[in-house]
Amino acid sequence: MSSEHHAREQLTAKAQMHRALRFLLDQQHTSKQCSRFATCDLDTLDDWYAMTALKTMLCARTAEPFLPLDIKEAIDTALAYDLASRAQVSALDINPILPRRLTDRESGKHQSGPSISVWKGDITTIRDCTAIVNAANSQMLGCFIPGHKCIDNAIHTSAGPQLREACYALMEEQGCLEAEGQAKVTPGYNLNSKYVIHTVGPQMSRGSVPTVEQAKMLADCYRSCLQAAEELPVPDSGRKVLVFCSISTGIFGFPSAEACSIAVRTVLECFSHHCDSTITDVVFDVFSESDLDLYRHRLSELSYDDGKSPGVVFPAGEQHIVKLYDSPSIQIARTIIREADYLILSAGAGLSASTGLDYTSADLFSKHLPGFKKYGFRCLYDVFGFQSWPSEQARWSYFMNHLIIVRDWPQQELYSNLWRTISTRFAGDAGDDRYFVRTSNADGLFVRHGFPASRVSTPQGHYAQLQCIRKCRKDAVFDAAPYIAAAEPHLDPITQHLPADFPVPTCPYCNSNLDLCVRGGSYFNDHPFRQKEQDYRGFCERALESSANKVVILEIGVGMSTPSVLRWHNEDLVEESEGRIKLVRVGRDAAGSCPFDLMEQGYGVGTQGDIPDILAAIMGSSF
């Protein structure tokens, strides 16, 4: 090993990522994508933003010129950290709907065949698979639009730039665009999967009906991928697992129901004619709940002799919730929590969003607040700071409807599990419990699910209260319940608005407007929440009184919307305590991303993914 290579190995993951970023910034300094990050100070840039910058520039970068080996190695290091922080599942833990035992209709003999299963999730996080299928375009070079939600982009982003280089080499050798219905194989590079099988499906106008030729072309994609997988070596485990994405159903516009039928029928027909297949397992990976239902229904139908199935009968299996792969990050998080004497539960918007109360959801807004879409609102977040109400009655109508949604939000198993597990595990003597909740959520769900109000701090406010918008007095804060009770009978069930002559309440002290007592601008009155913040600081001091005490911050769903409130505060606590306080970070995307330095020092760990699944994995059997 050269001294230069050894020196590169000694660099931290963060330093490797910054090294790759500086190279790309220098190389692409005139590009539009690069300009977003050109003025950033990498030394102070949050690791999540740095990783986003790296992925953005790699996505927009052409295959040529090929990257130097040392830069590829630096990128590989960063992507390995990124993948390790994402919740993953093993393909072998996905319970098949059609097991590996099948019966020939004509002979009645039993024979082995591949298991068939369906799973909803990120295809790049499936472990123990031999190959995954990529729905490519005819250029075969991946997607060049950073952040685009297509499967092509997801696979290339996780695999790294070597995948684009490999595809480029294949296309240069071929000398023409890739035809529909074919398949090409490349290594998987930084993916869990050892190989990627690329295929180009038929493209059509969304909403149109597939022609016979388009249906045949889609079936050819599945046949070609199966043939390509047959030619791959059988792993030492003896399990050759092929994971299909939903080819052509994304931006290529093929209707999901027809695509599902073609996929299932084609795959099963192929296996019915090739009983000696080396493929042992097939997983159909889908993106949406509706697609999941389509595949479950179609596969379950095949347990019946309906005359439409191929020449085999499959007994239907029972679909179950897939447990997460017990990755090092999951194990570390579990150990930190198990060994902790005190727990700080730090919760952001991602926690409530995981129970459906998602302030970024257009579907939630359309379902609960259709009468307010005419103002241009798309989601609950859009309303904060809005000043162009046509009348005070319209403004008050929205507030009352919003508060009713929060008041009536149903009990959630996730919060109940948190309360049961934490109150049992960190119960103290004589009411001196060894946990404290600090949350930016103003919905009151912690208290509603059993957490004592004395152990919950909400520095961003609370929807249970209204305040004087002028903050005329520090105690000009009022219980919202009587105001809701007065307005609710007068809300029109269709328009969701109050009558034009409804007397909108004002501050009883100064006659100014009332507003939600939630931080949304300089008007926010934080006085009612200061005592709980003081209680929280006192809890932290008591937890650290003994040098033997171990403290964990379980941070759930805290992203980058208001990082100074919880996220950066938590990181500062960990760093200042020199590891006596450790951080377990859980959530989607940024909310599950822990700084590289904290991970390398053993001070923290992050897991990106579905919050209930991750908590079930790290909190133990009682969760």
Instruction: Tell me if 468 is assigned to a ligand binding site.
Output: yes
Instruction: Tell me if 150 is assigned to a ligand binding site.
Output: no
Distance CA 160, CA 311 (A): 42
Q: Which amino acid is at 159?
A: A
- For CA atoms 186, 191, 197, 201, the dihedral sign is negative
Give which of 339, 349, 420 is closest to 615, Cα–Cα: 420
Distance CA 202, CA 303 (A): 30
Distance CA 216, CA 212 (A): 6
Residue at token pair 């909190």: 619
Instruction: Tell me if 472 is assigned to a ligand binding site.
Output: yes
- DSSP-derived letter for residue 429 is B
Sheet holding 281-286, edge to edge: 115-120, 281-286, 241-244, 131-136, 195-200, 184-187
Counting Cα atoms < 13 Å in the Cβ hemisphere of 329 gives: 30
Give which of 275, 312, 313, 241 is closest to 94, Cα–Cα: 241
Instruction: Tell me if 59 is assigned to a ligand binding site.
Output: no
Strand partners, 59: none
DSSP string computed for 523-567: T---GGGHHHHHHHHHHHHHHTSSTT--EEEEEES--SSSTTTTH
| Cβ-based burial of 41 (10 A; exposed 0-12, middle 13-18, buried ≥19) | exposed
Annotated binding site for Zn(2+): 468, 472, 507, 517
Annotated binding site: 468, 472, 507, 517
